[in-house]
Amino acid sequence: MYRPAYALLVGVAAVMGLLAVFASVTLDRPLVDPEGFLGPSWLRLPMLLLGAFLLDMLPRTLWGSRFNPRLMPDIARARVRDHWTRERMTLVVMGLVCFYITYVSYRNLKSFLPFVMGDGKYDRELHLMDRALFLGHEPATILHQVFGTGWTAHVLSSIYLWFLPLVPLALAAWLVWSRNISFGYWFATSQCLAWALGTASYYALPTLGPGFAYSWLYNDLPDTGSGALMDSLFYARKGVLRDGIEGAVQSVAGFASLHVAITLLVALMVQYTLRSRVLHWVFWINFAITVVATLYFGWHYVADDIAGVAIALISFWLGGLASGQKFDRGGLASHPTTTTSQVPVDAD
């Protein structure tokens, strides 16, 4: 039985890892495990999965036992037997390891970008495209006038920064709690594909982004978390490129927007695999606000966001096909073909 979900998930991770090692050796620069939400990736993702396991087990055990210690072991064992099956553990381990390799490789390949391609080569062209789309006006100026530069800036910043914990939290949620095993493979595979395609886009069209290339257009904004993040990325980039700081990464690259790609991917997964209309609205609104925030703060050009949408759609579709989903005509619904790790089945 052929399992394309396994092949694609492992294949993407392997290619990304090999590319990162090749670039590291060629450029004579060390690979770095970047720190982020809850620490380095090797610690962050297992911690989240352990937290998800405890969150799954503890409330269920306490509630089912009515806090009677004698009943707790049987309830906990029943949950482990019914939910934490071999298929679930295979999904969790494979999804975690492949995502870890893909994401760390992505961060390193992104950091190597200036040494391979030079500084942003196409910022002027994409900036001119933005001005043409906005009829000769600066998108930043129009958005600042429309949304203002007061409390709305802080709201947009908070939504934009929510992306940082969203990535590992969403991955943990689908690996641990997806009601259908194939949904977990769908999301993990699509995530890895999105990060890989995003890396390729950086090298295809290297840019810095308007906030770095045309920083004066954003001087009217108040101090926000988004602005602080942009400043930290600027100084980290300077440290890597000019000061020769080791053990750090530079994380500036505009095309395409992975913020847009991943938030759209999450919204699509929520739409297709969860039944809650409230959650549908929450994550589609999160995606829409993220798009606005990328332009408002100067993280991306319009073309970056369009490319991010394309990456999300391609990753979502390929991940779905690999994990055994059957899409209806028009792609408005999908039907999983299996509930086990053997995905997809050979028969229609």
* pLDDT 10s digits, 236-283: 888 888 877 777 788 888 888 999 999 999 999 999 999 889 999 999
pLDDT at 347: 39
Instruction: Name the one residue in this structure whose structure tokens are 């790609």.
Output: 261
3-state SS of the chain is: CCCHHHHHHHHHHHHHHHHHHHHHHHHCCCCCCCEECCEEHHHHHHHHHHHHHHHHHHHHHHHHHCCCCCCHHHHHHHHHHHHCCHHHHHHHHHHHHHHHHHHHHHHHHHHHHHHHHCCCCCHHHHHHHHHHHCCCCCHHHHHHHHHCCCHHHHHHHHHHHCHHHHHHHHHHHHHHHCCCHHHHHHHHHHHHHHHHHHHHHHHHCCCCCHHHHCHHHHCCCCCCHHHHHHHHHHHHHHHHHCCCCCCCCCCCCCCCCHHHHHHHHHHHHHHHHCCCHHHHHHHHHHHHHHHHHHHHCCCCCHHHHHHHHHHHHHHHHHHHHHCCEEECCCCCCEEECCCCCCCCCCCC
Tell which wins on pLDDT, 196 or 345.
196
Whether the predicted pLDDT of 296 surpasses 50: yes
> Tokens at residue 320, please?
């779905």
Averaged pLDDT, 126-148: 92
Percent of the chain scored above 90 by pLDDT? 48
Tell which wins on pLDDT, 7 or 348.
7
pLDDT at 142: 93
Orientation angle between helical segments 4-27 and 181-204, nearest 10 degrees? 30
Pairing outcome for strands 325-327 and 39-40: unpaired
pLDDT at 337: 55
Whether the predicted pLDDT of 155 surpasses 60: yes
Tell which wins on pLDDT, 28 or 4.
28
Averaged pLDDT, 271-296: 94
Confidence tier at 1 by pLDDT (50, 70, 90) = very low
pLDDT at 143: 94
Tell which wins on pLDDT, 330 or 162.
162
pLDDT digits (tens, 9 = 90+) for 7-59: 899 999 999 999 999 999 998 888 887 765 456 666 766 777 787 788 788 88
pTM score:
0.87
Confidence tier at 330 by pLDDT (50, 70, 90) = low
pLDDT at 36: 55
Whether the predicted pLDDT of 345 surpasses 60: no
pLDDT digits (tens, 9 = 90+) for 172-224: 889 888 888 889 999 999 999 999 999 999 999 999 999 999 999 999 999 99
**Cα–Cα dist 172/93, whole Å:** 11
Least confident of 52-56, 99-103, 300-304, 336-340: 336-340
200, 268, 306, 311, 320 from 206: Cα distances, Å: 10, 28, 16, 16, 29
> Tokens at residue 173, please?
């949620």
Q: With beta carbons less than 8 A apart as the criterion, state whether 163 and 262 touch.
A: yes
Q: With beta carbons less than 8 A apart as the criterion, state whether 262 and 187 touch.
A: no
Mean per-residue pLDDT over the chain, rounded: 86
